[in-house]
Amino acid sequence: CRPRLPTPPAFDCCEVVFPLLPPAMLPELRRSLAHLPRTKVATTRAVILLQHMACSSSPSNRSGSGFSNSRSTPGVQNCGGTLFSSGCSQQQRGKSTAVDVRTDVEKPSQDYRKYAYTTLPNEMQVMVVSDDQCDRAAAALSVGVGSLKDPKEIQGLAHFCEHMLFLGTEKYPQEDGYNEHLARNGGGSNAYTAETVTNYFFGVKPDALGSSLDRFSQFFISPLFTESATDRELQAVDSEHSKNLQNDAWRQSQLLRSSVNPEHPLNHFMTGNSETLRDQPAREGVDVRAGLLKFHNEYYSANLMKLALVGRESPDELLEMARHFFADVPNRNAPDPNAGLGDGIEAFTPEQRGRVLHIVPVNDIKMASFQFIIPGQKDEWKSKPTNYLGHILGHEGTGSLLAALKKRGLATELSAGTSHDEAGVAIFAVNIMLTEAGVADIDSVGDLVFAQIRQLREAGVDERLWHEMKVLSDMGFKFAALPDSQSTASNIAHGLQEFEPPVVLSAYSKLWEYKPEKIQQLCELLTCDNFRLLLKCKSYADVCDQQERWYGTRFSDKPLDAALRSRWETAGGFDDLSMPTPNPFIPDRLDMKPPEAPTQSPNPEQLSMIASRSPSKAPTTVFFRKDETFGLPKVTCAMQIYAPFCSESTESRMIGELWCMAVQEELNEFSYDSKVAGLNYSISSASMGMLVNFSGYNDKLEVLMQAVADKMVAMSEVSESTFNLVKTIAERNLLNSATRSTPYHQAFAAEQLWLRTPACSFQERLDTVRGITREQLNDANRKMLDKCHVECLLQGNITTQESKALIANFVDHLKVKEPLESIPPAGYLQMPLGWTLLERPGTNAEETNGATIVRLEAGDYSKENKCMVGLASQVLSQKFFDELRTKQQLGYIVSAGHFADPFGFVGLRLLVQSEKSPREVLDSIQNWTTDAWEFIDGLKDEDFEEYRAALVSQLTERPKSLREEFGWNWAEVATRNFEFGNRFVEADYVKTVSLAQFKTYVKENLKTARAAAFLIWPECLSKDDAAANDDYLKKFDRVLSKEDLPAQREAGSWKMRNSEILPDPSSNTPISHL
Catalytic residues: 162
The type of residue at 10 is A
| Residue 246 to residue 548: CA distance in whole angstroms | 13
732: left (phi over 0), alpha (psi -120 to 50) or beta: alpha
CB atoms within 10 A of CB 878: 21
Long-range contacts of 983-986 (CB under 8 A, 24+ apart): 983/955, 983/956, 984/955, 984/956, 985/863, 986/863, 986/866, 986/867, 986/870, 986/955
User: How remote is the C-alpha of 129 from its chain's centroid?
Assistant: 22
**Distance in Å from the first CA to the final CA of the chain:** 60
CA–CA gap between residue 122 and residue 111 (Å, rounded): 30
φ, ψ of residue 756 to 5 degrees: the values are -120, 150
- The CA distances from residue 429 to 416, 449, 532, 689, 1002, in Å, are 6, 11, 9, 38, 55
Strands 15-18, 81-85: pairing kind = antiparallel
β-bridge partners, 85: 15
For 486-499, b/e burial (b = at least 16 CB within 10 A) is bbbbbbbbbbbbbb
| Residue 98 CB-density burial (10 A; 0-12 exposed, 13-18 middle, 19+ buried) | middle
How far, in Å, CA of 1017 to CA of 686, rounded?
A: 29
| CA 1006 – CA 42 distance, rounded (Å) | 56
Query: Residue 822 corresponds to which amino acid?
Result: S
The C-alpha atoms of residue 644 and residue 213 are separated, in whole angstroms, by 55
* Pairwise CA distance, residues 139 & 582, whole Å: 43
Q: Cβ-count burial of 542 within 10 angstroms (0-12 exposed, 13-18 middle, 19+ buried)?
A: exposed
Collect all residues with Cβ–Cβ distance below 8 Å to 350 and sequence separation of at least 6.
Answer: none
Q: Taking a C-beta distance cutoff of 8 angstroms, is the pair 759, 925 a contact?
A: no
Secondary structure letter of residue 76 according to DSSP: B
Task: Decide if 424 contacts 342 (C-beta within 8 A).
Answer: yes
**Residues 188, 203: contact at Cβ < 8 Å?**
yes
CA angle 584, 589, 591 (to 5 degrees): 155
Edge-first strand listing for the sheet containing 1054-1056: 756-757, 827-829, 1054-1056
Helices (H), strands (E): how many in the chain? 35, 32
Q: Among candidates 965, 969, 593, which has minimal Cα distance to 802? A: 593
Please count the other Cβ atoms lying within 10 Å of the Cβ belonging to residue 616: 11
Element (H, E) at 320: helix 315-326
Total length of the chain: 1074
For 147-210, give the DSSP string.
GGG--TTSTTHHHHHHHHTTS-BSSS--TTHHHHHHHHTT-EEEEEE-SS-EEEEEEE-GGGHH
Q: How far apart, in Å, are the Cα atoms of 1031 and each of 832, 852, 1014, 1034, 1035? A: 21, 20, 19, 5, 7
The rounded distance, in Å, linking the Cα atoms of 824 and 1059 is: 7
CA atoms within 13 A on the CB side of 47: 16
